[in-house]
Chain A
Amino acid sequence: MAGFFKELKALFANKFTAIYLVLALPILFLFGHDVISRRGDLACLVALRLTCVQLINSEQIPYIDFFDWSQPVVYELFQLPFALQSLLAKLNLGTRLEAVTEAILLLLTALSSLVTFTIFMYGRKRLQKAGLQETDSKDLLAQVEQAALPFALTPLLLSYFARFQFGESQYLMVLALVPWIAMRWLAYQSISLPTVWALITGAICGLTLSLEVPYAITLVAIEVLLVSVFRRLKAVFSYECLGALLATLVIWMRINQSPDAMQSAYWHWILPLRWLQFQDLDEMIQGPGAAPELAYIFYLFVLAVFVSVVLGQKFKTVTLSSGLAIIGMGFFLLEKQGYTRDIIIAAAGILLTLSLAITACGQAASRFFDGKVSALILGQCFLAISTTVFCGYYLRQIELDYAEGINPHPRQVPLGTTDINLFVQENSKWGEPVSIICDYPDPAYPLLFNLERTPGSYLLFARPLRLLMRLQDRGLNTGHWKEFDEHIVNTLKAEFTSGRSDLVLLHGAYVKDYMHSRGLDKDLAERYTEGGAATFLSDNRQPREFLGYYFSFAAWHKSQKGK
């Protein structure tokens, strides 16, 4: 034990730890306070996935009994908040699921930052141990010391940017990717973590990157970048990569252990549907406001790549961080939606690049003072000032965005409609099913989760309808697609004719066209009467983001005759 503490002391007893704690703790504390003190602000897909797990726990089979296109591993990971909640309940510490989930996410964010910092400190210690006789080692030590804080702070700073995307897939991936990049960068400098730690960290990274199908290639892309930067192919064969590979393999094997029907649906419907999404932009996304306006991130992206062009030769970490931004931008383009949750990896890359650049400015400033002040200290001062400004700005922004999310006052309010939050609250009862059939999940989640309404429809969101209709237009709605189409039609038909939900909200032209073309509108009219309209009121910015035209929802209430 004493040895362990001695090790710890050797790792952390230095000025960097002090600076790290001084910077990271307030950032984490303020953010944590914000997350814990606010309610009803879970990210859309986090709420959706928690709902899915609730359904799974009530014996429903994913993809067959409800539609959501998350990977099976997502449902397994999202069991964790439920497990923790029930554990706390057994200890007489009853807590809301939302709070448990947020606490876990907060912990993961802090862990990501801490692990990254520890990796750098480990590298520093190894370099010091090796002795600093050679100029290369001195340079490397300087680079490690310079990169430690920007890397370690990135997960924390990203949480401010992605406050309303807290826990989304890309956010989780970044939490794993930042330590991964740090670890791999050191590995290419011949500083490897102990085998067990390398395997564990690699496995966690592999697991997280498998949350969405194509994202695992990020690891490959980063590896390609590292090989090209350091011209060392041998370093690829490492325990970190082995861990990541094994984790990915285990996840794919787990899919084969799921029920046959679920497996079949996964391979024949879900995976092809996801690929289809990558090929097809919603044709309703046209004019300004038809998707969240993220042009400012594109400008920052250009700045990050510019920084990489200027500093990349000298600071190889900048090349890696800007590489991450480029990869993230690639995924944003691939997702074909334009949501903020799709650009988080790019944002993390940008944040990391700019943090590194700010720290590097210390060198220029040091030259200005004729070297009287240490470049490192100056760089960290600049970083401290920048993070303070950044956090201050975002705390204010989060306040405004949260207020707008709870009680929206957008520039445009369609006449005769109420906000969907109020509408669902007023027209449905606690615990009763409500169907919100919309191309994207944002109007329904976290709303139904917060109001504790169960999902009333097979379609937790209705993206398949648009894609299936597009296939039909091209005469490709055959085979498994047709099977899936029929499954949707039959399930919706049964839902409507049985009057499963008290309230059905239909959104947009796609849903209406689909219902009409499949005759589902008649089934709906049998037991439901149309009345009123609700709108997902928003200026199309987080936390209320939408795609396409600013349509209202047509509301259908279960009629008395049907009861």
Chain B
Amino acid sequence: MSSKVLDSFWNKLSSRLNERVILTLLLLSFILIVTYKLVFWALHPLNVSADQSVYLQCGELILQGKVPYRDFFDFNPPLIMYINVIPVALAHLMHWPDALGLNVTVHLFHIICVSIVGWLFYRFRQCFNPVIFVPVLLICAYYTQLLISDNGQREHIFVISFLPWFFYRGLRHFGYDPGRILGIICALIAGTCMALKPQFAFVVFVGELGFLIQAKNFRALIKPELLAILVPLIIYGICFIALPHEAIKIFFEQALTAYTYGSSWGARCSTFMMMGSYYLTEPIYQFVTALFIALVLRGKSLWLTPFTMICLAAFLNYISGGQAWTYRLLPLAFFSQMLLSLEAGIVLYWLYERLKRRIQGLPYWLAALVFCLTVYQCVIEIAFSIETYQASDKVDLQKLGYWGYNPRSDFDLTFFSILQNSKQGDKVIHMGSGIRPGYPCQLQANRPPGSRYLYTYLLTMLVAAREKYPSHNAEFDRLENEMLENLGSDILNNKPVLIFVQDAPIHQILDKHKFFEKYMGAYSRLGYVDSCDIYKLTGTKVNLAAITPESRANIVLAVLSRDKTVIEVSSENHLPSQVVQEWVDRAQAAIKSALTDRSADQEAQMKQEIEELNARLWAQGKEIGELNEQIARDKAARDKK
């Protein structure tokens, strides 16, 4: 009796719940997955990693009419710099920080590309069995949401752009006609992003080879989209040739030479690349596991071969790169997860086929399950983002000319140092062995670069190049001299307010060239942060580290109480007047800020904390100064002996 009632209930329900219900549930899940991370980016408007921040800075400079290589230097081919004009323009339009512009742009791009994939899956569901390909689509949609530091890297942009192309081409090879216009759109997107790095073309080629091996449909090679994918490459090539002669010369003579010979600076052995830490090991394990399961499931899906092939291509790219950076591993990690999800889909389909007659309304249950799991996962992640945001110390972005707050944990100490010791519009230079911490701090602090060299990685590359290719030393010496001369002339011309110099190996390299004597006579050592000495433009040499916050307060108080003028105090204490004026300005701003009636915020507490940290910094700076003097005295005494 009860089973009859249940049967009739199911029949009624089945007739009512048609394909649209399933589709709606899946669509809602999809929308939720691709959008929930926007909450995180909104709460972290300045969150950006080193490489992406340099690209953004390049985009800013290009918008100001500057030419890559000639007016500012970066190793990378120019396409990524020009692509980053888009997020910068968006940021300007919306009055957002550039970092938020990038994260939102990448996110929107991701939504567009994955939506095309979703549409293809829906439109050609006779080829993309829904039970098998819903897990694939969810992984495609979800993977990007897991990225924070690698969001917007070239590898990330490439894999996103590759998705529509890959599935589109698969349809072509398997005998479907997904439409010419869509093909050309996919080709233009993929072609543009494929041009970001030469090795991306290899992935595209191997993917194509995978389809050919599987479908043996050589007629699919005579299609308009294959020509269209070359169009961005050709346009890029022409535009590159059209760059000013000076720019091309610098690209080939400096950027390419240093990169070719000196990229071993950050190289890692293959063992480390495979198992250095969990974030390297996990994708490699996933890759190996996915390959094995692909063998086990061979023949169960036409798509296994192409998926396996792109995994292999990504693995080759990673190993040949010789670097253990996570973004280099990103395509492999992503493709391996895609392959695993396809395999999971195949297993699910096997189960589905066996259970669909036994469990009535199985498709609805599955769709509901996907929806519930998605809601659960997304709600948890959003709640976690909000909770950590609320619990964190935050920086008020008003100081930077924006609205809102950003957690302090997104910043390096250099950021706070820049903020404390310079004003908006002041130029800053960071000379370090890598890009971090100069970038992203400089971009986050919204301070323009003080030199054409956004970072001085070139110097360390030349050190590595000398070790590996001693026969080319003359060439490397010439490059180093040229770079330091350019850097010096930039300092003299642009007068950056702050210069950060990393203690090793940059300090030694600069010392060797008497760089400080030649170009930094007007700068005084201010302190030390993130393994870098901080130099401030003071006009003359002053030991700022020797002036404690208490003495500063006394000096400033004398001016604020109108007992003395800035000039008088400056001459009494043998300090440049611009330094004293800046202290007075900062003190006035601090008083104003402290008296602003905002009782609920923690600004005072944070300020106090900053003051205490500053006091400690000054005290330690002083101690270092004294120790240095002591060393100098000892050395002099030894020399005398």
User: Interface of A with B (CB < 8 Å)?
Assistant: 221, 224-225, 228-229, 281, 285-295, 298-299, 302, 305-306, 308-310, 312-313, 319, 322-323, 326-327, 329-330, 333, 336-338
Contact = CB atoms under 8 A, between A and B. Distances in A.
A298 B270 contact: yes
Given A299-B316, A327-B292, A291 B298 contact: no
Given A225-B296, A288-B268, 14 more contacts: A228-B295, A281-B272, A281-B277, A286-B272, A290-B272, A291-B270, A291-B272, A295-B270, A298-B319, A309-B309, A313-B298, A323-B295, A326-B295, A338-B275
A287 B267 contact: yes
Interface residues on B, range: 20 to 34
B268 A228 contact: no
Contacts of A302: 312, 315-316
Given A287-B269, A293-B270, A322-B295, A330 B288 contact: yes
A322 B274 CA distance: 20
Given A313-B298, A326-B291, A333 B312 contact: no
B275 A329 contact: no
A417 B282 CA distance: 40
A82 B28 CA distance: 71
A504 B308 CA distance: 52
Interface string B257-273: 00000001001111110
A295 B288 CA distance: 16
A302 B276 CA distance: 21
A319 B308 CA distance: 14
A285 B295 contact: no
B269 A290 contact: yes
Contacts of A338: 269-271, 274-275
B255 to A, nearest CB: 23
B270 A305 contact: no
13 contacts: A225-B296, A281-B271, A287-B269, A288-B267, A288-B322, A289-B269, A295-B319, A298-B270, A306-B309, A309-B210, A312-B295, A330-B292, A338-B270
Contacts of A221: 292
A294 B270 contact: yes
A319 B304 CA distance: 14
A225 B295 contact: yes
A323 B294 CA distance: 10
A291 B319 CA distance: 15
Nearest to B287: A329
A446 B297 CA distance: 44
B131 to A, nearest CB: 20
Nearest to A286: B272
B298 A306 contact: no
A285 B269 contact: yes
Given A302-B312, A313-B298, A338-B271, A285 B288 contact: no
A295 B318 CA distance: 11
Contacts of A313: 298-299
Given A305-B308, A326-B288, A330-B288, A291 B271 contact: yes
Interface in B228-276: 264, 267-272, 274-276
- At the interface, is chain B mostly helix, strand, loop or mixed? helix
Contacts of B319: 295, 298-299
A291 B316 contact: no
B531 to A, nearest CB: 18
Given A228-B296, A229-B298, A327-B292, A306 B270 contact: no
Contacts of A309: 210, 213, 305, 308-309, 312
B298 to A, nearest CB: 6
Contacts of A329: 288
B284 interface: yes
B543 interface: no
B298 A319 contact: yes
Contacts of B270: 291, 293-295, 298, 338
Contacts of A333: 274-275, 281, 284-285, 288
A291 B305 contact: no
Interface of B: 210, 213, 264, 267-272, 274-277, 281, 284-285, 288-289, 291-292, 295-299, 305, 308-309, 312, 315-316, 319-320, 322
Given A229-B298, A299-B319, A288 B269 contact: yes
A228 B297 contact: yes
Contact of A308 (B210, B271, B275, B295): B295
A298 B314 CA distance: 12
10 smallest A-B Cβ distances: which pairs? A338-B271, A291-B271, A228-B296, A295-B270, A326-B292, A291-B269, A290-B269, A298-B319, A281-B275, A302-B312
Contacts of B275: 281, 333, 336, 338
Contacts of A305: 291, 308, 312
A298 B277 CA distance: 19
Contacts of A228: 295-298
A560 B21 CA distance: 90
Given A221-B292, A305-B312, A306-B312, A312 B298 contact: yes
B299 to A, nearest CB: 7
A227 to B, nearest CB: 8
Contacts of A281: 271-272, 275-277, 281
Nearest to A224: B296
Contacts of A288: 264, 267-269, 322
A304 B292 CA distance: 13
Contacts of B269: 285-291, 293, 338
Contacts of B271: 281, 285, 290-292, 294, 337-338
A305 B312 CA distance: 8
Contacts of A295: 270, 319-320
A554 B315 CA distance: 40
A525 B462 CA distance: 44
A453 to B, nearest CB: 30
Contact of A319 (B210, B285, B295): B295
Contacts of B267: 287-288
Nearest to B213: A310
Contacts of B285: 330, 333
Contacts of B312: 302, 305-306, 309
A302 to B, nearest CB: 5
A312 B298 CA distance: 9
Nearest to B304: A309
A313 B308 CA distance: 14
A281 B324 CA distance: 14
Residue of B268, B269, B297, B298 with most chain A CB atoms under a 10 A cut-off: B269
A285 B276 CA distance: 8
Residue of B281, B288, B315 with most chain A CB atoms under a 10 A cut-off: B288
B472 to A, nearest CB: 18
Contacts of A290: 269, 271-272
A214 B264 CA distance: 36
A421 B271 CA distance: 27
Residue of B268, B272, B285 with most chain A CB atoms under a 10 A cut-off: B272
Nearest to B271: A338
A295 B213 CA distance: 26
A431 to B, nearest CB: 37
A224 B210 CA distance: 25
A476 to B, nearest CB: 17
Nearest to A295: B270
A474 to B, nearest CB: 14
A291 B297 CA distance: 35
A388 B308 CA distance: 32
Contacts of B299: 313
Contacts of A287: 267-269, 272
Nearest to B313: A302
A325 to B, nearest CB: 9
B513 to A, nearest CB: 27
Residue of A225, A298, A309, A338 with most chain B CB atoms under a 10 A cut-off: A309
Nearest to A342: B271
Contacts of B264: 288
A521 B295 CA distance: 54
A312 B269 CA distance: 32
